[in-house]
Chain A
């Protein structure tokens, strides 16, 4: 079983839409969780960390459900510039495990 499972999409949504991505992880001992954004042919960049209490940064909301072992990312009021691949990353011990990434395209 993969350490991190993520729906690859693609998600094609109109501007202004709300879109949510989920990611599940297999190891209950995983300690920290992140969402990264990767633009085409670029390196991943940290979007936000995910905390148990949930956290929000502008239009982005991240949540963690330890009991069900999944993390989510909600994007409200999608912008064209949100088009990218979103990677969930799980830290277990000294290892970081990546989801396959979810492709998002925001359509005008």
Chain B
């Protein structure tokens, strides 16, 4: 089945630094990728939708300049948390939509647990 590889799985960084999270579709081409954020005991909140070769669409309240998304190829999308602060600490998950629909239409990466100290 469709697999999305997300790295790193866990990162601890100092306040003010930037962190890049990668999501790769391993055996299919992901024309659309979704980036979510999940707080403890809360559901996933969509941050942005990235389409290969075009600018990402951000959800209301999500800062474009803080959460930079790049979807340069059909197999790779990246989320960069710039100038991270402790309040950015969270679980970030990507998901990719397969062209053919696939497993429920999309597959999740394994998530990245970001801790900003």
Q: Which residues on A are within 8 Å of B, measured CB to CB? A: 32, 34, 36, 41-46, 49, 87, 89, 91, 94-101
Q: Which residues on B are within 8 Å of A, measured CB to CB? A: 32, 34, 42-46, 49, 91, 93, 95, 103-111, 113
Evaluate contact between B43 and A100: CB separation under 8 angstroms. yes
- Which 3 interchain pairs have the tightest Cβ spacing? A46-B104, A43-B108, A100-B43
Evaluate contact between B43 and A99: CB separation under 8 angstroms. yes
CA distance A89 to B93 in the complex (A): 15
Evaluate contact between A100 and B42: CB separation under 8 angstroms. yes
Evaluate contact between A42 and B105: CB separation under 8 angstroms. no
Asked, given contacts A43-B109, A49-B104, whether A96 binds B46 with beta carbons under 8 Å apart, the answer is: yes
**Chain A residues near B34 (CB, 8 Å)?**
96
**Chain B residues near A41 (CB, 8 Å)?**
91, 113
Minimal Cβ-Cβ distance residue in B for A6: B43
Asked, given contacts A94-B32, A94-B49, whether A45 binds B108 with beta carbons under 8 Å apart, the answer is: yes
Asked, given contacts A43-B93, A46-B103, whether A95 binds B108 with beta carbons under 8 Å apart, the answer is: no
CA distance A7 to B46 in the complex (A): 20
Instruction: Tell me the minimal C-beta distance from A102 to chain B in angstroms.
Output: 10
CA distance A97 to B105 in the complex (A): 13
Instruction: Tell me the minimal C-beta distance from B75 to chain A in angstroms.
Output: 19
CA distance A36 to B104 in the complex (A): 10
Other A-B pairs beyond A34-B105, A96-B106, A99-B43, 8, CB < 8 Å? A36-B104, A41-B91, A42-B111, A44-B44, A87-B43, A95-B46, A96-B34, A100-B43
Minimal Cβ-Cβ distance residue in B for A97: B46
Minimal Cβ-Cβ distance residue in A for B95: A96
Evaluate contact between B32 and A32: CB separation under 8 angstroms. no
